[in-house]
Chains A and B, each alone.
Chain A
Amino acid sequence: MFNWLSPLQVFTLDTTMITTVLVVAVHIAFRAGLFNLAPLGFAAIGGYTTALLVTKQHWPTLLGIIAGIIGAAVLAGLFALPVLRLRGIYLALGTVALAQAIVIGISNFDFTNGTLGIDRIPNRVTTLELMILLIVLFVLLELERRSHFGRAAAAVRLDERTASGLGINIRRIRLYSFIISAALAGLAGALEAHRTTVISPEQYGFGVLIPIFVYALVGGDGHWLGPVLVCWAIVVLRQYIDFAGSAWEHYIYGVLLIVMMMLAPSGLTDPKLLRKLRFRKSRRLRLAAERAAADEAAAVAAEVERAARSGGDPVDASTIISQAPSIAAAP
């Protein structure tokens, strides 16, 4: 089906789709206000679970991937109890530590083959399957966003106390968001393992998270489509700035992070940002209307003065005003 694409393009397409899943995972956590820096740890769990089960126990690939998702979700559930007690930057710090602990654990255990990683993982994930999976995921995401849970999660991010006052169980929302985020990250990790066929612990370092982070933050936490579109846009952009070398990519990510935080800390899909843009536009229109009214009033005043100076019949001011209804209408 994808024969008309070059192998490199297919590779880029596959990578982008898997990255999209990871971006969505980060978005789900951000939407509930969880500054979660651990998705790569959970991706590592997902990848290693399926890799070990499929290569050592000869499980079918589909079951392996599902086991990867469940493994990541269960681990998130276990660690949620201590980690979700933390707030704000302490949550960020705790999740960084958690992700690093997972990666260090993997690179030191024997059954994960240490820092060497696992190779010869069967490559059984096709582009078409990934595409179908992504479409299904998007439909589910949109349904979830419109559901009670999705709205409640957004409310928790915007104002925890108000959300709590409205009867939303904050602990449950945070817990479920954390687990869903981890499960999606596990899915992305499992797919990635079956695409690259080789995995090793260094694949899940903190530096790998930075691009994902850029997509999620620039896209904003208002709607899942924002981060996804930003991810795709940057992938397309990257095809064109290839000639500039890989250092430029880092510069661009760094600058994007800083500029976004300075201008729109809640990302491009933030309803507040959109409202502000709309307000600015309407204010410009209102100013133009006021200026037109003022011009008209000045013209009327000049007319009255000229009539008075010429000594002729003084023009009744009220008739002029009635000729210019916009003055009466002006505030």
Chain B
Amino acid sequence: MQQFINGLSLGSSYALLGIGVTLVWGVLGILTFAHAQTMTIGAYAALITLDRGYPVIVGVIAGLVVAGLFSGLMDLALFTPLRRKRAPEFAFVIVTIGVSQISDAFEASRTRSQTLPFPRKGFPVEPLTLLGRNVPRLSLVMLVTSVIVMAMLGYWLHRTKSGTAVRAVAYSRDTGELLGINSKWIFASCFFISGTLAALAGIFLAASSGQLSHSSNDAILLLAFAVIVLGGMGSIRGAIVGGLLLGLVSVYATVYVSSVFREAVAMLTILVVLVVRPSGLFGEKATTRV
């Protein structure tokens, strides 16, 4: 039972990661390697604000806005011209690798490659005893946050006019434009929202580990991709279920098989799911993947 709770709490951070990627990659189909850097930038912005003595909520909002602007501007400055030129999809991937390279170098030079302590004061970090079990309170908050964000994203994408416009543009940009949708702003706002969600995950992860460095999010980028691949492309609910499942698999595999799996579970998941069931758990069937 304790293992189950550990798995869920690990999974809740994975789910939050997945939520951040799902909009840009899952819905719009752009594989972005700059996601880890967006998370780090948001966490840095929050850290700077918190160090100035502002309350936690201000710090979180500052992080969200800065990362959102970073992500939205990246879309307007780089992806809009690429889209106009109808560049092949790998061009987007390479541009995001370039962006992550530049911002990583920038952060490393600003912080002199040091790991900074992240203030945990004000975050709900103390453990909670529930039904006689130890439950990390921060994981609970993360789980609740990801479920709320998932519900909001799902409502937005499927029930509102602007969300429907996003899905229309994702399906076919030309058709969307013919229907009078300004695809440029749809893409930019999706990137802005995805940036804020990335920052949310970045801030929570920094608060749970209590430290932050320019490379602290590099390793978990593949985890985020694994969550989306497992949950299924384009499925918001898949991101949550995929994240929780990945956390559970990771914990149980570590306990019953070998600790190797804790690190390798993301890669193995990507490989196995792409080969066996490319559409993931909840994804729609698409022929372009295989």
Contact = CB atoms under 8 A, between A and B. Distances in A.
A108 B289 CA distance: 31
B22 to A, nearest CB: 15
Decide if the interface of chain B is mainly helix, strand, loop or mixed. helix
A320 B221 CA distance: 76
B25 to A, nearest CB: 9
Residue from A104, A258, A265 whose CB has the most chain B CB atoms within 10 Å: A258
Given A93-B274, A262-B78, A87 B290 contact: yes
Given A104-B263, A250-B102, A257-B97, A88 B288 contact: yes
A60 interface: no
A165 interface: no
A94 B270 CA distance: 7
A101 B275 CA distance: 15
Interface string B249-288: 0000000001110011011101100110010000000001
Contact of B101 (A97, A253, A260): A253
Contacts of B100: 254
B213 to A, nearest CB: 14
Interface of A: 35, 82-83, 85-90, 92-94, 96-98, 100-101, 104-105, 108, 206-207, 210, 213, 217, 245, 247, 250-251, 253-258, 260-262, 265
A86 to B, nearest CB: 6
A210 B267 CA distance: 20
A258 B99 CA distance: 7
A89 B228 CA distance: 14
Decide if the interface of chain A is mainly helix, strand, loop or mixed. helix
30 contacts: A35-B93, A82-B271, A82-B274, A85-B275, A86-B278, A87-B290, A92-B90, A92-B93, A93-B31, A94-B270, A94-B271, A96-B222, A97-B226, A100-B266, A100-B267, A104-B263, A210-B97, A217-B94, A247-B108, A250-B104, A250-B105, A254-B98, A254-B102, A254-B105, A258-B78, A258-B98, A261-B87, A261-B91, A262-B95, A265-B91
Interface of B: 31, 78, 81-82, 87-91, 93-95, 97-102, 104-106, 108-109, 218, 222, 225-226, 229, 258-260, 263-264, 266-268, 270-271, 274-275, 278, 288-290
Contacts of B278: 86, 90
B264 A101 contact: yes
A250 B267 contact: no
A90 B274 contact: yes
A18 to B, nearest CB: 22
Contacts of B98: 253-258, 261
Contacts of B222: 96-97, 100
Contacts of A82: 271, 274-275
A90 B87 contact: no
B277 to A, nearest CB: 12
